[in-house]
Amino acid sequence: MCQEFALAVDERRLDLGPVVLFQPRVVAENSDQILKALNAGQADGKRLIVRPAYGEHFRLLRLSAATDAEPAPVPLRLPGFPEPR
């Protein structure tokens, strides 16, 4: 869970507030660097960069929009918009 989340949209900042990001398949881009820092006891302040694998996307849920105790992703069903994988 992320307490403060914002997106850059057309050079503007869109604050979404608290969100949950979800993606079951991710790749760590800088895993070698992070593992070396962890093994050396120097990982404080380092950031692990992850991205969805296989061209997929992160799913995001605004906590203020959650209507269920255990939310689940659902298709958007927008005409002309391909569903994210």
Residues 62 and 43: their CA atoms lie apart, in Å, by 30
Give the pLDDT score at 31.
94
> Residue 46 in contact with residue 33, Cβ under 8 Å?
yes
More confident residue, 9 or 38: 38
pLDDT in tens, 13-47: 988 888 888 888 999 999 999 999 999 999 999 98
Separation CA 49–CA 65 (nearest Å): 27
Distance (Å, rounded) from C-alpha 31 to C-alpha 49? Answer: 8
Residue 64 has pLDDT above 90, yes or no: no
Domain ranges of the chain: 2-57
Nearest to 5 by CA among 75, 59, 85, 48: 59
Most confident of 13-22, 43-52, 63-72: 43-52
